Amino acid sequence: MIPRSPARAQDGCGWQRLWREAFTEPRALLAWLGLERLAAALPPKPPHGFAMRVPRPFAARMRRGDPRDPLLRQVLPLRAELDEIEGYGADAVGDLAARRARGLLVKYRGRALLIATGACAVHCRYCFRRHFPYGEEHAGADRWRAALAALAADPGLRELILSGGDPLSLATARLAELAEGLRAIPHLRTLRIHTRLPVVLPARVDGELLDWLSALPWRRVVVIHANHPAELDGEVAAACRALADAGCILLNQAVLLRGVNDRIEALEGLSERLFEIGVMPYYLHQLDRVRGAAHFAVGDRRARALLAELRARLPGYLVPRLVREEPGAPAKIPL
């Protein structure tokens, strides 16, 4: 069990309550941070219908009064999201073309990805699935039976990736129900979970979840998503260590984002902090070209220069692979 902070121990709130208490109004978040003057930069309504959601534990790590805080920049809607930029579209990585069944995507050999839910605890403004038709395509509720049948019918699929949204936004009982369906698939060897919740809402990693993970029969890989070392406070560290104790291999995926982590100090600090808490740097993604996120883009020349400097400063095992995902490609493209 993860040790609770004194405040959380006193009020006894669980992760569901923290989820409900998230900031959903940009002006409320700005007022809480003492940044009311930034309200003029806000769009008149959620860009493309993509509303803001920021859990308070994540907001608590932001620097009050700092308009350039790297965590704030990841979640605050801006008018720039309304700009129409050539080459930026709704389906940036070709998800819909990879559809095998409702919510089941197969892009790469040996692996399938299940869109377990459309819900997420935080709405990152650069999200490559911000336009994904979750209402039609996710495999949540009772919709995953067809996806599991398609997975069972292909013995070449040995790894299942749970994604979303965020699969850990589902109650543990729902995850257990899904796992029971997966147990009937003999060729499944690895279960991989892509999640941001241990970072933005570490209380989600509770005893019930850890017990469920510990009892799974497959190799378990948890890929978290942190972009800046300031995201990784003591509660996140405790959550990651508990996941490791439950038998999970921990990796991190980051996205290279202008104004967030496009400085060598941020990337170096991220890799070192990840290693401190038992997580290995895995990928550093170039921005997926999704409509509404072009203001986060970092040029390839700058990205390669940052990676070269990172190699000069860190041991090789702490240097993530710089990649881009291209629709239809058989693997991530290294840069």
pLDDT digits (tens, 9 = 90+) for 160-212: 999 999 999 999 999 999 999 999 999 999 999 999 999 999 999 999 999 99
Residue 138, pLDDT score: 62
Instruction: Please state, in angstroms and rounded to a whole number, the distance separating the CA atoms of residues 133 and 130.
Output: 9
Residue 17, pLDDT score: 96
Query: Which of helix, strand or coil describes residue 301?
Result: helix
User: Do residues 131 and 90 lie in contact, with contact meaning Cβ atoms separated by under 8 Å?
Assistant: yes
Which residues make beta-bridge pairs with 99? 105
Which residues make beta-bridge pairs with 224? 252
The candidate with the shortest Cα–Cα distance to 273, out of 314, 334, 324, is 314
Q: What is the mean pLDDT of residues 201-230?
A: 98
pLDDT per residue over 288-322, tens digit each?
999 999 999 999 999 999 999 999 999 999 999 99
Residue 153 class from Cβ within 10 Å (0-12 exposed, 13-18 middle, 19+ buried)? exposed
Letter for the amino acid at 211? Answer: D
Q: How confident is the model at residue 9 (pLDDT cuts 50, 70, 90)?
A: very low
For residue 287, what are the contacts with CB-CB under 8 A and spacing of at least 6?
A: 126, 255, 256, 257, 293, 296, 297, 298
User: Do residues 14 and 45 lie in contact, with contact meaning Cβ atoms separated by under 8 Å?
Assistant: no
Query: Which of helix, strand or coil describes residue 93?
Result: coil
Q: Percentage of the chain surpassing pLDDT 90? A: 91
Residue 167, pLDDT score: 96
Residue 158 has pLDDT above 60, yes or no: yes
Instruction: Please state, in angstroms and rounded to a whole number, the distance separating the CA atoms of residues 24 and 26.
Output: 6
0.75 surpassed by pTM = yes
Residue 6 has pLDDT above 50, yes or no: no
Q: How confident is the model at residue 4 (pLDDT cuts 50, 70, 90)?
A: very low
Triad 269, 272, 273: Cα angle to 5°: 80
Q: How confident is the model at residue 143 (pLDDT cuts 50, 70, 90)?
A: confident
pLDDT per residue over 99-140, tens digit each?
999 999 999 999 999 999 999 999 999 999 999 888 776 665
